[in-house]
Amino acid sequence: MYGESSKHDNLECILQDQSSKPSAVSLNFLKEITNNFSDERVLGKGGSGVVYKGVLQSGEIIAVKRLEPSMAGSQSLFQNEVDHLMRLQHPNIVRFRGYCHETVWLYTEFEGQKVFAEISEMLLCFEYVPKGSLDVHLSGGSSEFDWHTRYKIIEGICNGLHYLHDQIDKSILHLDLKPANILLDKNLAPKITDFGLSRQFDQHQTISSPNRVGTLGYMAPERIDEGIITPKSDIFSLGVIIMEIITGHRHYPGVSGTSSEDFIELELKKWRNTLEKAQGYTNLEMDCEQIKRCIQIGLICVNPEWTERPTTTKIIKMLQGLESLDRNISDEVESSADQVSQMDSKSTAIALGLLKKESCLLKIHYVLGYWSKLKEGNQNLGKHRFLLQWLVTAYMESCCTLKTELLWR
């Protein structure tokens, strides 16, 4: 008993020491601090597992993520996530504290018989980030966020992604960047989390994967349609998130056919009206210019052509106003509209019908450009099943931010 207590004390010390490296933690200890993984301690649930609140004897809270052992590929996902998390240390990346991988035997029923089943318990420990995930705030309209807070969140996400892509020896692609995987600390500083789908990447390579894994609405079109993976996959996701943070909700107010120029002016007008009503506001023109720049960056990031999207280095410079936005974004949208007008009437009806309700600039900018590619050379529509499935699903869900994570085969 004394030995067990001493061991737990050592684990407490390791988890409380901000300078210690992530280390192995016992399953019994994690059961103890989460009250045996009770429902009352649940912080959140995702496609890969459940996150619990762990309370140390000192009163400090840590987050304990328990992976779902029955999920296909869970062992490799766990190994992948630990490998990558061990290398990361940045203010905008959630801090990794420890891990647990133990095998337990359960006497249970299987196909009408009682058998012993071997269960692999896989858990990850992180710093506790009290304000929760960004998607919760966005779904509420983020009315509590003024522009400076939103800009700080955008800037922090960009810095975190820049670190992953360009500031460590072997670059890491996140590949599931979305508001649900961005946590906010007590000061509303963003921290990127959930590296289960992340991949190590050589900047000079392009990966082609037969499996499409990720979250619809945030996956880049080339991943959905062709399985292409590059750093620009994350850039597309970043662009979607930037647009959501600026508009404050998931459903963009754009109407089918709206140009980027009109969209920018509409959002700028809304923000100008909001800022003018703020008591004692003195930086109106400066902030409006910053808002316009962020919208433009978001639109550039969701360019349907992945080779045209900027790097994180360029995005940081554009955010800081150190590099001009030298792309005519409105021309890109108008070009897509021209391509649509050249489609045969049946394809046009399908495309616009799917986009008519709850449409947004992202869908127009992204989908119409790709629909023209689909029609190019009278290609077989069956070859583009991933894009077509995304279109139908996005329409049925009436938004661009499906929370369902799918394994595309």
Query: What residues are labeled active site?
Result: 176
291: nearest Cα among 263, 323, 312: 263
Q: Report CA 382 to chain centroid distance, whole Å.
A: 29
Q: How far is CA 245 from CA 134, 139, 162, 357, in A?
A: 9, 11, 19, 21
CB hemisphere CA count around 24 (13 angstroms): 5
- The β-bridge relationship of strands 113-127 and 182-184 is unpaired
| 357 touches 398 (CB < 8 A) | yes
Is 403 annotated to bind a ligand? Reply is no
Helix (H, G, I), strand (E, B) or coil at 350: helix
Residues 6+ apart with CB under 8 A from 1: none
Degrees (nearest 5) of the Cα angle 233, 303, 48?
Answer: 30
Structure tokens at 302: 């969701």
Q: How far is CA 113 from CA 104, 107, 156, in A?
A: 19, 10, 53
Residues 6+ apart with CB under 8 A from 189: 91, 92, 152, 153, 156
CA–CA dist 132, 134 (Å, integer) = 7
| 369 touches 342 (CB < 8 A) | no
Q: Report CA 33 to chain centroid distance, whole Å.
A: 29
CA–CA dist 408, 287 (Å, integer) = 42
In degrees rounded to 5, what are phi and psi of residue 303? Answer: -55, 130
**Per the annotation, where are the binding residues for ATP?**
65
